[in-house]
Structure 1
Amino acid sequence: MFRLAADEELTDEKLGEFLRQHAYESTFRYQQLKNAYETDYPIFYQEKKPEWKPDNRIAVNFAKYIVDTMNGFFMGHPIKIAADEDSIGKFVEFLDQYNDQDDNNAELSKICSIYGKGYEMYYVDDAANIGITYLTPMDAFMIYDDSVLCRPRNFVRLYLDADNVLHGSVSDESKVRYFTQKGRLVWEEEEKIHGFDGVPATEYVENEEQLGIFEPVLTMINAYNKAISEKANDVDYFADAYMKVLGAYVDDGSVKKIRDNRIVNFTQGMRDILPEVEFMSKPDGDATQEHLIDRLERLIFQISMVANISDENFGTSSGIALKYKLQAMSDLEKTKERKFTSGMNRRYKLIFSNPVSRMKKDDWVKLHYRFTPNFPANVLEETQIAQNLDGIVSQETLLSVLSVVDNAQTEIQKIEQEKERAQETAAEDRLLERLRDEQQNVLESAGS
């Protein structure tokens, strides 16, 4: 964590120190995590073996599997946001749609799973609307004060241009400054007022330790890749074993006949010793290798606490047994949910503080978030639960039980609209029926 005393100025020298620390961490930690997710493992860079030896390089990308599985479990269903007032709910719905926030949330969650943390930045765009974008910790970092509350002091965003020159911006509680690094920091004269009541960015974390979800098992993933590569080398070795012939001379022509006809036929050798013909093979370590590979695979999923949903035995479970298999991942999801909720509170607190939002600064406390873990849906069971809850809880709570309902408030509005249309239709039908009766009575009176 980058810390700066509350009464200390962020000088060029201090910022340069932070930039060097960030570059070091990006190079020696974040880049390795990024490489692992993108299937760029150390196995591909090991020293080459001699030409006559098999040299397979196989990487099983557990890192990507773990991240994507957890992200799908956590963000497979978009976050549902309810507001105490309709005007607040409508603004949040517009804001989220304008910024494709469901996708932003999913990408931010993935970034946190890979690197242990990620960032969200806020700005006012050319259309005078509030924009939201996400950044990896390789592209930005937050500077906090040295108090126990760790208040954000500055947010630094970085990028390289086409000439590999570093550019960046530094935001504080009121303005944004821009710089270029050309041996030293060169600042642009223009400063911009961002309009937010605080540093216009939020740091989201995967957990308190800010560890990526596969980071604790990365050494095991590398060991697995090495073991399975050596296993493939052994397969190639046994498929290309050498034949030895003892007690007889085999010329080139005979070697060709043996290879083509696959028949070995020698007369009695010298000193009444029959020729010995067999393949040379090294000791078979297949059982040991398989045991190591199986144990590494089990430990990778066990320590990462992410379920191996591709396992053939996983799909045979149902009901409560399936939830027990997902218990560890569910616990991990709850921790991430609390951290994400904290970040979202800061998101809307900052956005509502900007005059462009036309919201009151404290309206963010009227928002309520609902995360829905992506368990295999049992709609029949959900509807039965909803029916049992009818008359016990509010309609909004009742509808939120159903995974098929994305937004309970919107669904309630649709139900009310359908009731109004049904009532209007029924009233129209009664009116038409009365008119027909009156017309019939007039005709009967005229006939009389």
Structure 2
Amino acid sequence: MAINTSDDSQAYYASVPFGLQKDSIRMLKGGTRFDRESNKVYRIPTSQYNEDNISDYVHMFLEHHYNHQLTRIATLQRYYEGDSDIHYWKSDKSKNRADNRIASGHPHYITTMRVGYSLGKGIQYQYNSPTDKPGVDNAEADNLMQRIDEFNKAIDEDYIEKTIKKSLSVTGRAFELLYTTVSPAGNGDKKVNVELTVLDPANAFVVYDTNIHQSSLFGVYYYMVNYNDKPRFYVTAYTANKVYHYEPINSVGDDLVLAGEPEEHFFGRVPITEYANNDERLGDWEPDLDLIDSYDKAISEMANSEEDFSNATLVVNGDIDVPQTMKKIVKGKDGNPVYDDNGDLVWEIDPNSPYLNTLSKVMYLKPSIINNANGGVTVVPSSAEYLTKELPIDNWKSHLDEIIRDIYTDTNTPNVSDENFGGNSSGVAMAYKLFGSDQIRETQNDLFSRGVKRRLRLVAHFWGIKNVIPDETLVNNVTLNFPPNLPKNDTETITNAMNLLKAGASQETVFGYLTAATGVKQEEEMQRKKEQAENDPDRLDANMFNQQNQNQDEQDSGKEDDE
């Protein structure tokens, strides 16, 4: 759960839609859903920025973020966690009516599909050919890639990327922080480690300048800790070279006081990196919150109708033919209770109150006989039935199906529960069904790559200072691949790989293609192949075998032409 919804009750309840008009939820409320400045990008005119005034800037933007942007982020996090606005619906139903509040799981499903489709197989880091940068040999490139691989393993990069992607899908933005720690080395010295953590978008923001490149001026990470019912806010600001720690404050509006001298961080840029889900910084399902609210209300009302139907009112016409066993206290002419000789109350059968056992499965009815004024009688036939309203089940289903279809269409999310989605669809048919998802994925992967490449440049700058790599610009040659996480058909993958070999593709290309089936990275597979050739030079090589087959086929074909 996000920090703001677990510790900061004020932030949580600010996102809850209290005070709406009767019989309405937020989707029907007039006006906009969020504050007009709830997704504002923070900027300071370049000519007016002075790091000496950093505390004033942090105080100003901290107040704005807490009062204007946090509500939107907390609301989106609530929806992802299944706590949508339907739970706070002011339906104004009577106490004897069903009033269910059912939240759907569409936000969680869409986010899970988007994260798994884009990053389920992880990111592949590759280095371009050394010829792309004159003067760079393979040893330097190999050293860089080894450092990146070690760094990724140390920070648990696969989990980090999925956490960032989930935050992007939910809130439209994500933040990560690079920092250093010190650990003892084997020779008695101290080792400086580069660490990375993902920040909750409810507790972080970045302020940019107004240049065309919009470089970041500083980033802020703040959070609240509620210990022993005493809330305290902790605030830290990061500039291109320094880290400013502030004394804990009681509320966001309090003045900020530095806690000691600023620290150096040696990353060369602001170590907080902001990721964007799209240019508008919107979540994957945020534009469809109205549809999600409509679906929640529809299924809640369906559940209410079903429950009201099961609690229908029994209507009885005629008389109930049951023993008159209900008793009442005997009263005298003066209206006072009558007592017997022992001083106990005297009871008698009440002829007007027959005993009715409501738990019995059998009810005996008899016609009512009414005496007329002319001496005749009128017989009223008896009947018993439940007073219910007719449930339009087909209409409910059509309405819900239409909402679901609109949600998945608008968000370009495949609905795998649709009976027409899978089946025996061909590869081309499946490609068309995933066409919309692929367009979104490509755009989002490009934006995601910008954040990861910025991370690598920060780390490379630190490595350059420590002489771990000779040139920090080498990292600009690193490219990122995002293989889609689709249902696997290993047999088809291996067959296609063999066809690639026959077509003359390089081992590097084929091994990269086979990663989806084997789970072994391209570089590792090539190393295995190299060691195998060195340790057993007489072993038959698959490429050689395929080349021989190809040459033989060409020879056979030539003979047929001669004949």
Per the normalisation by structure 2, the TM-score is 0.72
- SS of alignment partner, residue 357 of structure 2: helix
In 1, Cα distance between equivalents of 2:66 and 2:195: 27
Contact 1:306 1:329 survives alignment (8 Å): yes
In 1, Cα distance between equivalents of 2:259 and 2:390: 69
Aligned residue among 426, 437, 458 for 1:350: 458
For residue 408 of structure 1, what is the aligned residue in structure 2?
522
In 1, Cα distance between equivalents of 2:114 and 2:68: 25
Question: How far 1:92 moved relative to its partner?
Answer: 0.7
- SS of alignment partner, residue 177 of structure 2: strand
- Aligned runs of 1:3-402 on 2, under 5 Å? 3-7=43-47, 8-9=49-50, 11=53, 12-47=55-90, 49-84=93-128, 85-127=141-183, 128-161=192-225, 162=227, 163-180=230-247, 181-182=249-250, 183-248=254-319, 253=354, 255-256=356-357, 260-267=360-367, 269-270=369-370, 271-318=378-425, 319-354=427-462, 355-356=465-466, 358-359=468-469, 360-390=471-501, 392-402=504-514
Question: How far 1:425 moved relative to its partner?
Answer: 9.0
**Closer/same/farther in 2, CA of residues 252 and 424 from structure 1, 3 Å limit:** farther
Contact 1:56 1:229 survives alignment (8 Å): yes
Contact 2:367 2:380 survives alignment (8 Å): no
Contact 1:123 1:194 survives alignment (8 Å): yes
In 2, Cα distance between equivalents of 1:393 and 1:115: 42
Higher relative contact order (CA 8 A, sep 6+): 1
In 1, Cα distance between equivalents of 2:364 and 2:286: 56
- SS of alignment partner, residue 185 of structure 1: coil
Contact 1:154 1:171 survives alignment (8 Å): yes
Q: Which amino acid aligns with 1:408?
A: Q
In 2, Cα distance between equivalents of 1:239 and 1:369: 58
Q: Which amino acid aligns with 2:513?
A: V
Unpaired runs of at least 5, structure 2: 1-40, 129-140, 184-191, 322-351, 371-377, 541-563
What's the C-alpha RMSD, in Å, of the aligned pairs?
2.2
Contact 1:207 1:336 survives alignment (8 Å): yes
Which of 279-288 and 101-110 deviates more? 279-288
For residue 556 of structure 2, what is the aligned residue in structure 1?
none
Unpaired runs of at least 5, structure 1: 427-448
Whichever structure has more helix as a proportion of its residues is: 1
Question: How far 1:357 moved relative to its partner?
Answer: 6.8
Contact 1:130 1:356 survives alignment (8 Å): no
Contact 1:80 1:406 survives alignment (8 Å): no
In 2, Cα distance between equivalents of 1:378 and 1:247: 71
Question: How far 1:188 moved relative to its partner?
Answer: 1.6
Contact 1:351 1:357 survives alignment (8 Å): no
Q: Which amino acid aligns with 2:50?
A: E
In 2, Cα distance between equivalents of 1:230 and 1:72: 33
- SS of alignment partner, residue 174 of structure 2: strand
Contact 1:269 1:275 survives alignment (8 Å): no
**Closer/same/farther in 2, CA of residues 94 and 287 from structure 1, 3 Å limit:** same
Question: How far 1:286 moved relative to its partner?
Answer: 2.9
For residue 532 of structure 2, what is the aligned residue in structure 1?
418
**Closer/same/farther in 2, CA of residues 261 and 341 from structure 1, 3 Å limit:** closer
**Closer/same/farther in 2, CA of residues 262 and 297 from structure 1, 3 Å limit:** farther
In 2, Cα distance between equivalents of 1:108 and 1:397: 29
Question: How far 1:424 moved relative to its partner?
Answer: 8.2
Question: How far 1:104 moved relative to its partner?
Answer: 0.4
**Closer/same/farther in 2, CA of residues 187 and 275 from structure 1, 3 Å limit:** same
For residue 560 of structure 2, what is the aligned residue in structure 1?
none
Question: How far 1:83 moved relative to its partner?
Answer: 2.6
Question: How far 1:392 moved relative to its partner?
Answer: 3.4
Q: Which amino acid aligns with 1:103?
A: Y
Which string of whole-angstrom CA distances, capped at 9 and with x for unpartnered residues, describes residues 192-237 of structure 1?
1100121112111111111001101122111111111111111111
% identical aligned pairs: 27
- SS of alignment partner, residue 313 of structure 1: coil
Which of 277-286 and 65-74 deviates more? 277-286
Which string of whole-angstrom CA distances, capped at 9 and with x for unpartnered residues, describes residues 5-47 of structure 1?
2232253333222112211244320000000011111222223
In 1, Cα distance between equivalents of 2:285 and 2:508: 37
- SS of alignment partner, residue 402 of structure 2: helix
**Closer/same/farther in 2, CA of residues 113 and 317 from structure 1, 3 Å limit:** farther
In 2, Cα distance between equivalents of 1:357 and 1:108: 30
Per the normalisation by structure 1, the TM-score is 0.89
In 2, Cα distance between equivalents of 1:64 and 1:33: 11
Which string of whole-angstrom CA distances, capped at 9 and with x for unpartnered residues, describes residues 265-313 of structure 1?
3235432332343221124333332222121111111111111123333
**Closer/same/farther in 2, CA of residues 166 and 357 from structure 1, 3 Å limit:** farther
In 2, Cα distance between equivalents of 1:369 and 1:262: 75
Question: How far 1:113 moved relative to its partner?
Answer: 0.6
Contact 1:116 1:207 survives alignment (8 Å): yes
**Closer/same/farther in 2, CA of residues 165 and 357 from structure 1, 3 Å limit:** farther
Which string of whole-angstrom CA distances, capped at 9 and with x for unpartnered residues, describes residues 86-140 of structure 1?
1111111100001101110111111111110101111121131111111121121
